[in-house]
Amino acid sequence: MIPISKVELGAAEEELVLQVLRSGQLAQGFMVERFERSFAPFAGTEHAVAASSGTTALVLAFRVLDLQPGDEIVTSPFTFAATVNAALEAGATVRFVDIRSDDFGLDASLLDAAVNERTRAIVPVHLYGQAANMPAIMAIAESNGIAVVEDACQAHGASIDGSSVGGIGLMGCFSFYATKNVTTGEGGMVTTNDGCLADRLRLLRAQGMRRRYEFEEPGYNYRLTELQAAIGIPQLERLHERTERRRRNATRLTNGLAGIPGLVTPVALLGRDHVYHQYTVRVTAESRMNRDELVSALEDHGIGCGVYYPRSLAHYDCYRQHPRVLTDERMPIAESMAREVMSLPVHPWLTSDDVDEVLAVIQKLLG
């Protein structure tokens, strides 16, 4: 079986985890601080605030916007539910806007019609490891005085026109869940250049407590542990090299899959450094098999694949019927992407033979 993702931790992680175990300090301390300091450069920001997950990082980011009832955030319906769950948790009303079929991110040309006097944030999701169209999104946000919170949970180290994701908008949110390009098992990070926001994110992360029992506002316990930080630090040191391996695998897949009718390989857009969290193809009507048939045929041949995501969030009853989710418009691109997309293994531990096998099986099935 060739798995869709793989976690490999080495001697450096073991060493650092042991150091934590022997120190007796398990709750957030020096190691978390060290993890934050090492992470900030990947987003190109001055500050990085660790959290217990990508979801809680997003909740913190939305909370510091001080949303009032009725205040809206605009985001994509073609994302992991955490983007929306976090916004709802922080009191936002969520307005969905359709995406593009080349980068799977928010379609900036639809934003002007979607924003209004209640819009407080635009939340682009850098899906699969490629940046959304940030120059266009930032231009609309800035001309309307709206904040941008980047969901960079799938895009550690990705950039657009030389700017790292997570450092372009007011805040960026990252995840270190098991399958992400950097993992701590569970974990997250908020990045920002705003020192006041960073201070407030830190406060809210730990019950709103400035010093022992000095509470400034009601907060949470969203802290990361020292053990998790110890697993994350060595991976940051090797992130660039691992991303290069993902890119090499992606290039080989794209070359090998060229010309197969009905199979659209990922578009590497000009100026965007894709970090290939997922290598996602589209299976269109011209294909010999539809997407679901291809997924099960590949799995029968021992090739793990995934569908991210099988439905637009706008189509789930729990969101469609939610009083704070606005989905009045049809979103044709998100809907067709949900029918067409599937992800193939691209992780750094694929061997050259693994890639050859993936290509051979797809050629046999669709060529």
Ligand X SMILES: *Cc1c(COP(=O)(O)O)cnc(C)c1O
What are the residues binding ligand X (CB under 6 A)?
53-55, 79-80, 82-83, 125, 151, 153-154, 175, 177, 188
Residue written as token pair 């990085």: 48
> In this complex, which beta carbon is closest to ligand X, that of residue 151 or of residue 273?
151
CB of 129 to ligand X, least distance (A): 10
Q: How far apart are the first and last CA of the chain?
A: 22
CB of 69 to ligand X, least distance (A): 24
> In this complex, which beta carbon is closest to ligand X, that of residue 127 or of residue 295?
127
- Say if CB 90 and CB 67 are below 8 A apart: yes
> In this complex, which beta carbon is closest to ligand X, that of residue 262 or of residue 273?
273
Rounded to an integer, what distance in angstroms lies between the CA atom of residue 83 and that of residue 204? Answer: 19
> In this complex, which beta carbon is closest to ligand X, that of residue 125 or of residue 229?
125
- Say if CB 86 and CB 112 are below 8 A apart: no
> In this complex, which beta carbon is closest to ligand X, that of residue 125 or of residue 239?
125
CB of 56 to ligand X, least distance (A): 7
> In this complex, which beta carbon is closest to ligand X, that of residue 55 or of residue 130?
55
DSSP 304: -
CB of 3 to ligand X, least distance (A): 18
Rounded to an integer, what distance in angstroms lies between the CA atom of residue 87 and that of residue 360? Answer: 43
CB of 103 to ligand X, least distance (A): 14
Q: What residue number has its CB nearest to ligand X?
A: 54
Residue written as token pair 């976090």: 86
> In this complex, which beta carbon is closest to ligand X, that of residue 53 or of residue 287?
53
Q: What phi and psi, each to the nearest 5 degrees, are found at residue 150?
A: -85, 125
> In this complex, which beta carbon is closest to ligand X, that of residue 223 or of residue 263?
223
Rounded to an integer, what distance in angstroms lies between the CA atom of residue 156 and that of residue 40? Answer: 11
- Say if CB 180 and CB 153 are below 8 A apart: yes
Q: Name beta bridge partners: 150.
A: 172
> In this complex, which beta carbon is closest to ligand X, that of residue 131 or of residue 260?
131
DSSP 80: -
Rounded to an integer, what distance in angstroms lies between the CA atom of residue 32 and that of residue 59? Answer: 19
Q: What tokens appear for 181 in the block?
A: 């390009």
Rounded to an integer, what distance in angstroms lies between the CA atom of residue 181 and that of residue 249? Answer: 14
Rounded to an integer, what distance in angstroms lies between the CA atom of residue 237 and that of residue 239? Answer: 6
- Say if CB 65 and CB 194 are below 8 A apart: no
CB of 87 to ligand X, least distance (A): 11
> In this complex, which beta carbon is closest to ligand X, that of residue 190 or of residue 362?
190
Q: Name beta bridge partners: 189.
A: 50, 174
CB of 80 to ligand X, least distance (A): 4
Q: Which of 131, 236, 148 is nearest to 197 (CA)?
A: 148
b or e along 302-335 (b: 16 or more beta carbons within 10 Å of the residue's beta carbon)?
ebbbbbbbeebbbeeeebeeeebbebeeebebbb
CB of 210 to ligand X, least distance (A): 27
3-state secondary structure 114-135: HCCCCEEEEECECHHHCCCCHH
CB of 308 to ligand X, least distance (A): 8
CB of 51 to ligand X, least distance (A): 9
